Structure 1
Amino acid sequence: MRGCIAVVLAALTLPAGSEVAVSPGPRPVARGTGGAVASPHPLATAAGMRVLRNGGNAIDAAVAVGLTLGVVDGHNSGIGGGCFLLARLPSGEILAIDGRETAPAAATRDMYLDADGKPDPAASRTGPRASGVPGSLAAYDHVLRRHGSTDLRSHLEAAADLAARGFRIDAKYARRIAAEAAALRRWAGPASPLFRADGKPLAAGDTLRQPDLAITLRAIGEHGIKHVYGGEFATRVARWMRENGGVLTEADFAGYTIKQREPVRSSYRGHGIVGFPPPSSGGVHVAQILNILERFPVPDLDDVARTHLVAEAMKLAFADRAHWLGDPDFVEVPAHLTSEAYARTLAGRIDLRKATVVEGPGPAAQTGESGDHTAHFTVVDPQGTWVACTATLNTSFGSKVVIPGTGVVLNNQMDDFSIAPGVPNAFGLVGAEANAVAPRKRPLSSMSPTIVLRDGEPVLTVGAAGGPTIISQALLVVMRHIDLGLPLEECVRRPRFHHQWKPDRLTIETALPAPLREALTRRGHDLAPREAIGVTQAIIRNPDGIFTAVSDFRAPGRAAVAVPRKPEF
């Protein structure tokens, strides 16, 4: 299915396959049988592994991981946020469970414009008007009831015990608290457990105990998710919102429903690629970029030509993202974006000799947010269930709002809408009318849980955290494994790069070799170095049946298998 185009290759600056790896540090890779888990926190991975070893399936384990992350990685995800869960069942059925947040019924197109009609991005990012109705809990409950073998209460109790008992925060968590301390004092309150008794933010090594969150989790276990979607929790949120200028109501929570979507299916060099559909942009644009790359002899290119090519393909896809993508219940997302014919058209716009300016989308601002916000986790069991789930509050600590007495951090997902045409969100992404604010609408996302099939069977799953770079991270792992034949740990470890059209600059990790950087600059790329781009989690089933689980070396996560083949490291 590879298309043919004429290309001119510039002189090769680096020999093919000479990419230089990021120093791995002490982060784990695990190999073995009996199931595998990879997540951004060791305690969450341990929770999932306990479920697998006690006879639960990957769905059960994934819910345990997700709820635990809401306790130990609560600046990134939790029951106050949303998620996309992609799963492949032993029967071959693919599930795409949309637990994305929804805008309140009182939301309006211009709710983030000030009295002068000017956009007020701060209002969509922090405080009472920044939150949509959270959906993670509803998604976990839905998938567990239909495809799990355990009940939600047992997982909630385990998470509640951990919240009450406490855990030592790492340096990353401490940095997040310190960075958001002013907003957290205002919206979570100075008595928040995120602060010491003297008012200073918790430091690395301090124990974080969350008694209010433990009470909330146990109440959900006792009363079911109706405690959140129409019960006491919803009442507390609505009362606080009325008192503080927000618009979320009890009716918004009572009216929330998860959506079962049809996954995005495509192929790449003989492999099936399964991604998440809109309101995720991830599945569409991972498929779109791979379709473009299939028009080129990627395995035969040197590092300079290959990096340049992928960056140019990213640029074209993100231009389309800005214009066409939105909630499919409100707008029609063009089906041709993932077609081979359209990929041939876009491929024809790429010049392998130099960077091109993409003026806009195909036919039919730089900001301060650059971290690994969001949490991806993945689980595989020996019966053949594969789960890839990405959960998020959006930016660090979401809206910074913690409703008194609940311990739950509310998301700031309203910022993922286009609050006004051309106005960038916290990640520098711009949007158009397709992603405008509307009542009960779901904002566009970059979350990209992905499953790769060979001969119809799952062989690889990958996903990431890091705003729009999630798409690039998932893409690079798939491309490096299929085109370069690299082991999974190398696919994750090697330096990353990312282009999102606007701003017109190529973000690169500082570990990218200097000769490669210089060559990219000569081709016309404006480089923006960053120490690290996102956090990836992935699992692969090797030809011998052994699983390799990888938790990104850039963050303090953990990979584990039920029956190790070799010592974990």
Structure 2
Amino acid sequence: MRHFLPLKVLQLMVTVCVFCSAVVCAEMTGYARVTQDGRAAVATVQPRATEAAMAVLAEGGNAIDAAVAAALALGVVDGHNSGIGGGCFAVVHWADGTIEALDGRETAPMLASRDMYVVDGQLNRELSRTGALASGIPGSVAVYDYMLKKGGALKREAVYRPAIALAEQGFAIDQIYAERLARNRDVLARFSGTAEVLLDDNGQPWPAGHKLVQPELAKTYKQLAQQGAEYFYQGELAKRVELWMKANNGLIRQSDFARYQMLKRTPVRSQYRGYEVVGFGPPSSGGVHVAQILNILQSFDLTKLSELQRYHVTAEAMKLAFADRAFWLGDPAFADVPKNLISETYAASLSKTIALDGTNKAVTHGTPAKAEINLFDKHTTHIAVADKAGNWVAITTTVNTDFGSKVIIPGTGMVMNNQMDDFAAQPGVPNVYGLVGSEANGIAPGKRPLSSMSPTLLLKDGRPVMTLGAAGGPTIITQVVQALINTIDLQLPLAQALSAARIHHQWRPDALYLEKSASLELRGGLHKLGHNMKDLGPYGSTQAIAFTKEGFVAVSEPRLEQRNRR
């Protein structure tokens, strides 16, 4: 089995957009906006979701209400990426100054087994990606419900109202949505509940501009608005899911929904150049490896390195972190994940393996100190919202690949995730993103699969100054790292920081992916240093909000708007 990620697969796993170096702000796009009074800011991947958040803020809501409103709206207008049938991680800085990491990651059903995708001795990856066996128990609703109960300023019905209107009245699908439909038409057509919503009477995908109405999803949202998470996990919706699963040889049962719990994780905290970086711990690999990469880079003064040297050492640091990810990371309730992966001492030892004049071809996982005893507690979209009351929110949410498992449960309008593919179905065998894993991320009943989602807060002197995160499979981690390097080390304005040419290295395959916008000089220099270069069109989708002397600055992925205009 070849452990590599073909270029075409990587291109599909991220949001591929035409490069745009223009500053993105409230006046120029609807993706990122600041309220007229400057009290709050929103950045999402879709203008209608940002509008939903802004509408809630206009009613007197706070950043908590706005973040949930945006997430719910994305489940309608960006359903190929996220929705209530998926999961999320949220890092929340509450107005009282406390920070919580909320785990809404999907769990494997209790009938799941270690080799459930092995048929006649051969791994059948299609089973973990499409259909009834591909889904875990969704967790996003539990997180949203908790956030509103703890810190929301409005009634639940008011927060759900914009998303209900979008589902009930319909919206014109954009170019990205239409392309995702066209790309997945054949698989979507296999499921009647899905075809009824996403394809026309002839089984063809809806074109850009088509008004997509989702009455069943609107009804589900109305029930959630009235009853909260109880309807989802204890009521009629769970019953409908079980009926469909039993009829289609699936394993999810109503009892799985009833058993589901949102978990509060200890945030991953690290220091970088005088800032505190707060991320999400396992089963997210994001917080751990954003911290690890930054820790490795602290041994280098990036401001004194040439552009070539800076990109080179960053790529080498990524490679070291992803090697550790493949070996150590998993659900901490089932796997021993060493806390010292984010130790500055461990990072310093790794940094010594990085040479400025060439690549390290012998990278494997390391073993941090006390690895056996000092342990962490046992297609995606990002939302960034902040207000002057002190509520700062970073939510990364997903159904995994395009339209998740491709299943819409009849009567619910809900797209089910395919997060079971994020488990290591067999050690060393890559998943759809080309990521390999060990037994630490093997399938087990009730277990949460490893994720790359990296919702992140940046603090200075104990106060939040930035919220950010990204979409794009394993590139999420490297996008967040580069956004932080560009703002902290290079002191670029936020829009420029997100516009700069990106690289990505995930250890396996041994390939350095570089956007085509990078200069020929940089590309040639990296090649001479020994990097196995792979071209990639502009990729990823980062959303961020920073607080400056002038107030909030909200930026959504600079590559998005022109992508929809193509």
TM-score normalised according to structure 1 size: 0.90
Could you tell which deviates more after superposition, 535-544 or 22-31? 22-31
Task: Measure, in 1, the Cα distance between the counterparts of 2:60 and 2:20.
Answer: 37
Amino acid at match of 1:419: A
SS at 1:66 equivalent: helix
| Structure 1 pair 260–190 and aligned structure 2 pair: CA distance change class (3 A) | closer
Task: Measure, in 2, the Cα distance between the counterparts of 1:190 and 1:430.
Answer: 31
SS at 1:98 equivalent: strand
> What are the equivalent positions in structure 2 for 1:44-59 lying under 5 Å apart?
44-59=49-64
Amino acid at match of 1:421: P
Q: Which residue of 2 aligns with 1:7?
A: none
SS at 2:188 equivalent: helix
Task: Measure, in 2, the Cα distance between the counterparts of 1:154 and 1:194.
Answer: 28
Amino acid at match of 1:259: L
Retained in 2: the 8 A contact 1:319–1:358?
A: no
The size of the alignment, in residue pairs, is 528
Q: Which residue of 1 aligns with 2:85?
A: 80
> What are the equivalent positions in structure 2 for 1:148-167 lying under 5 Å apart?
148-167=152-171
RMSD: 1.6
Using the TM superposition, give the Cα deviation of residue 23 of structure 1 relative to its aligned residue in structure 2, in angstroms: 3.6
Task: Measure, in 1, the Cα distance between the counterparts of 2:85 and 2:395.
Answer: 16
> What are the equivalent positions in structure 2 for 1:39-438 lying under 5 Å apart?
39-115=44-120, 117-189=121-193, 191-364=195-368, 373-438=379-444
Of residues 465, 469, 473, the one that matches 1:467 is: 473
Using the TM superposition, give the Cα deviation of residue 228 of structure 1 relative to its aligned residue in structure 2, in angstroms: 1.6
Retained in 2: the 8 A contact 1:138–1:257?
A: yes
SS at 1:318 equivalent: helix
**Residue 505 of structure 2 corresponds to residue 499 of structure 1:** yes
Retained in 2: the 8 A contact 1:86–1:95?
A: yes
Task: Measure, in 1, the Cα distance between the counterparts of 2:165 and 2:154.
Answer: 18
Could you tell which deviates more after superposition, 144-153 or 306-315? 144-153
Task: Measure, in 2, the Cα distance between the counterparts of 1:252 and 1:478.
Answer: 39
Retained in 1: the 8 A contact 2:277–2:458?
A: yes
Using the TM superposition, give the Cα deviation of residue 220 of structure 1 relative to its aligned residue in structure 2, in angstroms: 2.1
SS at 2:289 equivalent: helix
Using the TM superposition, give the Cα deviation of residue 217 of structure 1 relative to its aligned residue in structure 2, in angstroms: 1.2
Using the TM superposition, give the Cα deviation of residue 24 of structure 1 relative to its aligned residue in structure 2, in angstroms: 3.4
Task: Measure, in 2, the Cα distance between the counterparts of 1:329 and 1:51.
Answer: 37
| Structure 1 pair 358–376 and aligned structure 2 pair: CA distance change class (3 A) | farther
Retained in 2: the 8 A contact 1:78–1:408?
A: yes
Task: Measure, in 1, the Cα distance between the counterparts of 2:229 and 2:194.
Answer: 29
Could you tell which deviates more after superposition, 25-34 or 140-149? 25-34
Using the TM superposition, give the Cα deviation of residue 498 of structure 1 relative to its aligned residue in structure 2, in angstroms: 0.4
Q: Any unmatched runs of 5+ in structure 1?
A: 1-20, 365-372, 559-569
Task: Measure, in 2, the Cα distance between the counterparts of 1:498 and 1:523.
Answer: 16
Could you tell which deviates more after superposition, 423-432 or 158-167? 158-167
Using the TM superposition, give the Cα deviation of residue 190 of structure 1 relative to its aligned residue in structure 2, in angstroms: 6.8
| Structure 1 pair 241–58 and aligned structure 2 pair: CA distance change class (3 A) | same
Q: Which residue of 2 aligns with 1:24?
A: 22
Using the TM superposition, give the Cα deviation of residue 69 of structure 1 relative to its aligned residue in structure 2, in angstroms: 0.5
Amino acid at match of 1:329: A
Amino acid at match of 2:22: P
Retained in 1: the 8 A contact 2:134–2:405?
A: yes
Of residues 442, 450, 464, the one that matches 1:444 is: 450
Amino acid at match of 1:505: A
Using the TM superposition, give the Cα deviation of residue 431 of structure 1 relative to its aligned residue in structure 2, in angstroms: 0.3
| Structure 1 pair 334–81 and aligned structure 2 pair: CA distance change class (3 A) | same
Retained in 1: the 8 A contact 2:66–2:159?
A: no
Retained in 2: the 8 A contact 1:40–1:557?
A: no
Task: Measure, in 2, the Cα distance between the counterparts of 1:158 and 1:30.
Answer: 17
| 1:216-238 Cα distance to aligned partner (Å, 9 max, x none) | 11122233322221211111111
Using the TM superposition, give the Cα deviation of residue 156 of structure 1 relative to its aligned residue in structure 2, in angstroms: 2.6
TM-score normalised according to structure 2 size: 0.91
Using the TM superposition, give the Cα deviation of residue 189 of structure 1 relative to its aligned residue in structure 2, in angstroms: 4.4
| 1:203-261 Cα distance to aligned partner (Å, 9 max, x none) | 11111111111111112223332222121111111111111111000000010000011
| Structure 1 pair 25–149 and aligned structure 2 pair: CA distance change class (3 A) | closer
| 1:329-386 Cα distance to aligned partner (Å, 9 max, x none) | 112210110001100110011111111124421125xxxxxxxx21101101121111
Of residues 486, 492, 499, the one that matches 1:486 is: 492
Percent of pairs with identical residues: 52
Amino acid at match of 2:461: D
Amino acid at match of 1:102: T
Task: Measure, in 2, the Cα distance between the counterparts of 1:557 and 1:206.
Answer: 20
List, as ranges, runs of 4+ consecutive aligned residues in structure 1 with deviation greater than 4 Å. 29-32, 188-191
Using the TM superposition, give the Cα deviation of residue 557 of structure 1 relative to its aligned residue in structure 2, in angstroms: 10
SS at 2:487 equivalent: helix
Task: Measure, in 1, the Cα distance between the counterparts of 2:490 and 2:159.
Answer: 40
Task: Measure, in 1, the Cα distance between the counterparts of 2:341 and 2:362.
Answer: 16
Task: Measure, in 2, the Cα distance between the counterparts of 1:407 and 1:337.
Answer: 41
Task: Measure, in 1, the Cα distance between the counterparts of 2:175 and 2:23.
Answer: 15
SS at 1:139 equivalent: helix
Could you tell which deviates more after superposition, 146-155 or 478-487? 146-155
Amino acid at match of 1:146: K
Task: Measure, in 2, the Cα distance between the counterparts of 1:64 and 1:556.
Answer: 22
| Structure 1 pair 154–54 and aligned structure 2 pair: CA distance change class (3 A) | closer
| Structure 1 pair 519–282 and aligned structure 2 pair: CA distance change class (3 A) | same
